[in-house]
Amino acid sequence: MADLLGIGVLFAAVAVATLVAVWLNKSVIPFYIVFGMVLSPSVAGQFSVAGYGLPVVESSEFIELGAELGIVFLLFFLGLEFNLDRLLDRWERITRAGTIDLAINFGAGLLLGFALFRDPLAAFLVAGIVYISSSAIITKSLIDLGWIANDEADPLLGTLVFEDLVIAVYLTIAAALVAGGSDVGAAVTSVGVALSFIVALLLLARYGTPWFERALQTNSNEFTVIRAVGITVLVSGIALAIGVSEAVAAFFVGMAFASTTHTHKLENLLEPVRDTFAAVFFFWIGVETDPRLFASVAGLVAAAVVVTTPTKILSGYLGGRAYDLDPRRSIRVGLGMVTRGEFSLIIAAVALTGAGTSLSSELANAVYSFTVAYVLVMSILGTMLMQYSAPFEDFATARFGAE
Amino acid sequence: MDVTESDLPGVGKKHEVDIGGGQQLVVVTHNTGTRELYLRESEDADSVKLLELSDRMARIVGTILEGAYFQPVESNHVETMLSEGTLLEWYAVEDDSPLVGETLAGADVGQRTGVTVVAIQRDDDVIAAPASTAEIEAGDTIVVIGERDNCERFEQLLGGEL
């Protein structure tokens, strides 16, 4: 199915996904993915009812571009809400908690990735995939559970901010490595180009504030939205064209806008744009996934869940302690960080672009299916752990004292 | 009183207010404008959500808390501010007021005080926009609009001090 009807089915499906999520009181992201999978050619395409085929949404240019815009706007928002000055206030604590989180989880991810896939590049991708927690789902859960008003919110959100910064650098390198292929010289060149582009963007974000300020100076909401989208998508597109991650470019454009007076307005105006295309992105992830491949990666996913759940709880616990929280609240930080989501999927999408070049098609698809299944499990497991944190808190209090 | 402000990246801002007795009121202001109010019974207790208000509602409740709509202080008369400096006021006509028995035109209210009489309340009746020939009786309540100075002059006139 193509054209407007296909897109209509897509948007109707994600709309139904939001209903189901509200009904079950769960985060909507896993449902977008599952609905995408159900309507994909590999599931719905296999069945027919009374001789009629079920509606199937095939990946089309529109959906792929929509998904790409989803990534761009997700990262744009990260940059927009990423205020360096505010961050510097608590830099010491954030860095301590963030470094513990990075060392433990990225380290464990590298070992795990190599053990599972026997390939250095795949190991690097898996390390990123299991390292990065889901800002979107965790923040939503914090609000739902009321933890947002408690002290554990500080290390949780602080560590997420740290991860966001790391992931911007990570994506640059990952995209360059995947594009660079197996040739070491080519990989070094593409990482070099990517990093120079990032430095250029960083300078633009740092010194371009007056220009960005003037660029959005208008009384019309329409013009504001159009100009912001125009700048963001154009810069991201240029980045992609020269082989740099479009997500990272969007992140820096967001950061550039963050220091203007338009931040709040942009957040309000662009949130619906982001949410619309983010839904397309998650749905596209589902469409691209053949659930039959889950069987072949089930063992890998189980191993990853068993290894990376405790590592996040441990690093979160230590991060909470670095914020001088008592054991009970620290364990909550650990449980809260377990959820993985959108960024792991963005890395999976990067992995897919390397199919047949830097990664064998088989390996790229395995990493992709692994990630989708892993994110589905971790997004549900993570939110459940937060919801039913009481026994873990009791354990932590009994084991480490109440303080 | 201690108020702690902290940023909630991606969410908004958090203000923690010590309200005495070890209790803290926590206000989470979302970027969308929604405010969530939490009460924390003691320092290490969990925050309990009290209520959630939209941006608009929060402003209304805020101004009520601030005392802008109603300040519980002793006051001799009702005072309603229509806009900066312009009041809508109610005055009771005492039995010994020199205006008893006069018409509005006869007392020359408009010229002498600058207020406009918009209604006279007599027992259960309200004479809206009374004509200049309307007679003032003891026990009436006169509703006037005018600048604060003019309202004060009218009060003096009514009390026989002008």
CA dihedral A342, A347, A352, A358 (to 10 degrees): 180
Q: How far apart are CA A115 and CA A217, in angstroms?
A: 53
Range B32-39 average pLDDT: 91
Preferred mutation among B23, B31, B42, B51 to probe A, highest tally of A CBs within 10 A: B31
Could you tell me which chain B residue has the CA closest to the CA of A272? B32
Chain B touched by A206 (CB under 8 Å) = no
Q: Residue A83 — very low, low, confident or very high, per pLDDT cuts 50/70/90?
A: low
Chain B touched by A83 (CB under 8 Å) = yes
Average pLDDT, chain A: 88
Domain co-membership, B56 together with B103: no
CATH 1.20.1530.20 fits A71-401, yes or no: yes
CA distance B52 to chain A (A): 11
B72 in a domain, yes or no? no
Chain B touched by A267 (CB under 8 Å) = yes
List the CATH number of the domain containing B93: 3.30.70.1450
Contact A81 B49 (CB under 8 A): no
Check whether B49 has a pLDDT greater than 80.
yes
What pLDDT sits at residue A70?
92
Domain co-membership, B92 together with B20: no
Q: How far apart are CA A355 and CA A347, in angstroms?
A: 13
Range A143-152 average pLDDT: 88
Check whether A84 has a pLDDT greater than 70.
no
Domain co-membership, B132 together with B98: yes
B142 in a domain, yes or no? yes
Query: For residue B106, what are the domain limits?
Result: 77-158
Domain co-membership, B84 together with B34: no
Contact A64, A353 (CB under 8 A): no
Range A26-45 average pLDDT: 87
Range A202-208 average pLDDT: 84
B71 in a domain, yes or no? no
Q: How far apart are CA A323 and CA A155, in angstroms?
A: 7
What pLDDT sits at residue B75?
47
Range of lowest pLDDT (A5-14, A229-238, B59-68): B59-68
Range A154-161 average pLDDT: 89
Q: How far apart are CA A138 and CA A135, in angstroms?
A: 5
CA distance A268 to chain B (A): 7
Report chain A residues whose CB lies below 8 A from the CB of B49: 146, 149
B62 in a domain, yes or no? yes
Domain co-membership, B86 together with B112: yes
Degrees (nearest 5) of the Cα angle A306, A346, A19?
85
Q: Looking at B11, B44, B66, which one is the last position of a domain?
A: B66
* Number of DSSP helices (H) and strands (E) in chain A, helices first: 18, 2
Check whether A149 has a pLDDT greater than 60.
yes
Contact A149 B8 (CB under 8 A): no
Range A28-53 average pLDDT: 83
Of A174, A192, A311, A140, nearest to A247 by C-alpha is A174
Range B10-19 average pLDDT: 88
CA distance B20 to chain A (A): 18
Range A372-387 average pLDDT: 92
Q: Looking at B45, B66, B87, which one is the last position of a domain?
A: B66
Range of lowest pLDDT (A271-285, A295-309, B131-145): B131-145
DSSP code of residue A151: T
**Percentage of residues of chain A with pLDDT beyond 90:** 46
Report chain B residues whose CB lies below 8 A from the CB of A86: 7, 9
Contact A125, A343 (CB under 8 A): no
Domain co-membership, B54 together with B81: no
Contact B9 A81 (CB under 8 A): yes
Q: Residue B79 — very low, low, confident or very high, per pLDDT cuts 50/70/90?
A: low
Of A320, A274, A223, nearest to B10 by C-alpha is A274
- Give the pTM: 0.75
Check whether B88 has a pLDDT greater than 90.
no
**Percentage of residues of chain A with pLDDT beyond 70:** 96
Rounded to a whole number, what is the largest CA-CA distance in chain B?
72
Range of lowest pLDDT (A123-127, A381-385, A399-403): A399-403
**From the CB of residue A46, how many other CB atoms can be counted at a distance below 10 Å?**
12
CA distance A81 to chain B (A): 6
Q: How far apart are CA A339 and CA A299, in angstroms?
A: 20
Check whether A397 has a pLDDT greater than 50.
yes
In total, how many domains does chain B have?
2
Chain B touched by A148 (CB under 8 Å) = yes
Report chain B residues whose CB lies below 8 A from the CB of A143: 11, 28, 36
What pLDDT sits at residue A181?
62
Report chain B residues whose CB lies below 8 A from the CB of A83: 7
Report chain A residues whose CB lies below 8 A from the CB of B32: 268
Q: Residue A347 — very low, low, confident or very high, per pLDDT cuts 50/70/90?
A: very high
Check whether A147 has a pLDDT greater than 70.
yes
Q: Give CA separation, A170 vs A165, A197, A258, in Å.
A: 9, 14, 21
In DSSP terms, which residues pair with B28 in a beta bridge? B14, B36
Domain co-membership, B99 together with B132: yes
Report chain A residues whose CB lies below 8 A from the CB of B47: 146-147, 149-150
Q: A127: helix, coil or strand?
A: helix
Q: Which residues contact A205 (CB under 8 A, 6 or more apart)?
A: A79, A252, A253, A255, A256, A259
Chain B touched by A268 (CB under 8 Å) = yes
Range of lowest pLDDT (A51-60, A120-129, B18-27): A51-60
Domain co-membership, B84 together with B103: yes
B36 in a domain, yes or no? yes
Q: How far apart are CA A133 and CA A167, in angstroms?
A: 10
Q: What is the ipTM of this complex?
A: 0.71
Tell me the per-residue pLDDT of B93-103, one tens digit each, with 9 for 90 and over: 888 888 888 88
- Which one is predicted more confidently, B76 or A224? A224
Q: How far is C-alpha A304 from the chain's CA centre?
A: 18
Residue A271 tokens, joined: 């949130």
Range of lowest pLDDT (A67-81, A183-197, A265-279, B47-61): A183-197
Of B15, B14, B18, nearest to B2 by C-alpha is B18
Element (H, E) at B83: strand B79-83
Residue A286 tokens, joined: 């589902």
Q: How far apart are CA A139 and CA A153, in angstroms?
A: 9
Q: How far is C-alpha B136 from the chain's CA centre?
A: 28
Q: Which residues contact A392 (CB under 8 A, 6 or more apart)?
A: A313, A331, A335, A385
By a Cβ cutoff of 8 Å, what residues of chain B touch chain A?
A: 6-11, 14, 26, 28, 31-32, 36, 38, 40, 44, 46-49
Q: How far apart are CA B114 and CA B47, in angstroms?
A: 56
Report chain B residues whose CB lies below 8 A from the CB of A82: 9
Domain co-membership, B59 together with B103: no
What pLDDT sits at residue A336?
95
Q: How far apart are CA A393 and CA A377, in angstroms?
A: 22
Domain co-membership, B148 together with B90: yes
Range A23-45 average pLDDT: 87
Contact B9 A268 (CB under 8 A): no
Could you tell me which chain A residue has the CA closest to the CA of B25? A149
Q: How far apart are CA A333 and CA A329, in angstroms?
A: 7
